[in-house]
């Protein structure tokens, strides 16, 4: 069964009417953090099984406004997993070589192989977000990409990849608070970029771009999950719940070994 944050294909969402708060979903932080740790322990075991099985792949996609919590969500979710079976890829400004190819070229190269979990910190969706809001390309270029992305993700699903997409939905007030925290804390200064303030001026434009992304690229087999992101503890729980529920449905199995009864280790 889809969770409370899973979108339905063909049923539009309005981000302005979608809460960024966890209040209606959970009101006990201590309990939520205990639930999260229990789920993560399950995830660690299933990740080991996925790696050993070596047949299927899982791709986790994270998108958010600046300071939306992508790094924190990844750090909490992956603590304790086998690093051999996970690859995190951060997609930043394309290189000259990447710009010489189609927009999915660098993405396809980072898709997880068999037995692997791939995590995208930003993703192919930057090419219907940043390029749109900042007018790097015309609408005639970025708008057809919705369907291209849907076809790309369908291809990945058909070739054994389970895709989980999370939009971390924070309020403008929460973003302001997180920016201020980064400025106050010397150890967090490096996270702050003056360009973030320029993007903040385009908050409404980004919200519209994210909303169109969600509505155009939620499909039956690869829906988006809109996670209330103002409370980090709930964000972590909600993401982990989806991951664990999905991997349970995969019915992962350790591979059967040959008869080893006659093996003697000297």
pLDDT in tens, the chain (266 residues): 678 999 999 999 999 999 999 999 999 999 999 999 999 999 999 999 999 999 999 999 999 999 999 999 999 999 999 999 999 999 999 999 999 999 999 999 999 999 999 999 999 999 999 999 999 999 999 999 999 999 999 999 999 999 999 999 999 999 999 999 999 888 888 888 888 898 999 999 999 999 999 999 999 999 999 999 999 999 999 999 999 999 999 999 999 877 666 777 87
Residue burial 166-197, b: 16+ Cβ < 10 Å; e: rest: bbbbbeeebbeebbeebeeeeeeeebbeeeee
Q: Residue 8: inside a domain, yes or no?
A: no
Q: Residue 9: inside a domain, yes or no?
A: no
Tokens of 80: 């304790």
Q: What is the pTM of this model?
A: 0.95
Q: Residue 3: inside a domain, yes or no?
A: no
User: Domain residues for 64?
Assistant: 18-249
Q: Residue 6: inside a domain, yes or no?
A: no
Q: What is the sign of the dihedral through the CA atoms of 38, 40, 41 and 45?
A: positive
Q: Residue 93: inside a domain, yes or no?
A: yes
Contacts of 237 (CB under 8 A, 6+ apart): 26, 32, 33, 35, 36, 39
What is the number of domains present in the chain? Answer: 1
pLDDT at 1: 62
Q: Residue 164: inside a domain, yes or no?
A: yes
CB 191 within 8 A of CB 182: yes
CATH number (domain holding residue 92): 3.40.50.300
Q: Residue 87: inside a domain, yes or no?
A: yes
Question: Shortest CA distance to 225 belongs to which of 18, 17, 50?
Answer: 18
pLDDT at 263: 72
Q: Residue 261: inside a domain, yes or no?
A: no
pLDDT at 35: 98
């Amino acid at each position: 069964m889809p969770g409370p944050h899973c979108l339905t294909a063909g049923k539009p969402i309005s981000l302005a009417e979608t809460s960024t708060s966890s209040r209606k979903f959970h009101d006990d932080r201590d309990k939520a953090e205990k639930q999260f740790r229990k789920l993560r322990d399950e995830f660690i075991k299933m990740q080991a099984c996925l790696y050993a099985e070596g047949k299927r792949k899982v791709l986790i996609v994270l998108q958010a406004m600046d300071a939306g919590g992508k790094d924190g969500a990844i750090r909490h979710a992956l603590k304790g997993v086998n690093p051999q079976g996970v690859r995190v890829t951060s997609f930043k400004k394309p290189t000259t070589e990447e710009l010489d190819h189609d927009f999915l070229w660098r993405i396809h190269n980072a898709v997880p192989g068999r037995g692997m979990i791939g995590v995208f910190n930003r993703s192919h969706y930057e090419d219907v977000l940043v390029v749109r809001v900042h007018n790097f390309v015309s609408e005639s270029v970025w708008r057809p990409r919705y369907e291209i992305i849907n076809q790309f993700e369908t291809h990945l699903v058909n070739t054994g990849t389970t895709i989980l997409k999370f939009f971390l939905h924070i309020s403008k007030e929460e973003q302001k608070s997180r920016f201020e925290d980064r400025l106050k804390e010397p150890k967090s200064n490096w996270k702050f970029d003056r360009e973030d303030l320029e993007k903040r001026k385009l908050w409404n434009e980004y919200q519209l771009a994210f909303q169109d992304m969600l509505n155009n690229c939620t499909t039956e087999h690869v829906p988006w999950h809109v996670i209330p992101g103002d409370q980090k503890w709930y964000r972590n729980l909600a993401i982990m719940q989806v991951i664990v529920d999905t991997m349970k449905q995969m019915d992962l199995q350790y591979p059967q070994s040959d008869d080893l009864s006659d093996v003697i280790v000297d």
